[in-house]
């Protein structure tokens, strides 16, 4: 992997982290659990039809929630580094080197 591709992918990763950190995953997890608890009582037919999809949604949400919890333990910068900032820094370094 060359430096440009690495930098491009790193910026995407930081963008993904920021989106993940901002998602209300705990509330989404509670909503799925709530549906599983009252769905069979409130509308058994609808619950039966949607149970598999809700379970898959719940699995994804739980995985993302665990990742969110771990990411929030890290001392992340307020903003992800942007490609523009990196290019500006690289240009500055080149200028200082006489390039």
The model's pTM: 0.67
Judge whether 30 and 57 are in contact, CB under 8 Å.
Answer: no
Q: Is the sign of the CA dihedral 84, 89, 90, 91 positive or negative?
A: positive
Judge whether 33 and 57 are in contact, CB under 8 Å.
Answer: no
- 42-67 pLDDT, tens digit per residue, is 999 999 999 999 999 999 999 999 99
- Cα dist from 16 to 9, 11, 67, whole Å: 10, 9, 11
Range of the domain at 18: 3-97
Structural domain count of the chain = 1
- Residue 32 or 95, more confident: 32
């Amino acid at each position: 992997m060359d430096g440009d591709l690495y930098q491009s992918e790193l910026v995407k990763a930081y963008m993904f982290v920021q989106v993940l950190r901002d998602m209300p995953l705990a509330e989404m997890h509670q909503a799925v659990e709530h549906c599983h608890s009252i769905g069979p009582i409130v509308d058994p037919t609808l619950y039966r039809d949607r149970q598999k999809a809700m379970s898959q949604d719940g699995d994804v949400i739980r995985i993302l929630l665990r990742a969110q919890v771990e990411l929030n333990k890290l001392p992340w910068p307020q903003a992800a580094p942007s490609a523009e900032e990196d290019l500006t820094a690289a240009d500055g370094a080149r200028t200082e080197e006489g390039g």
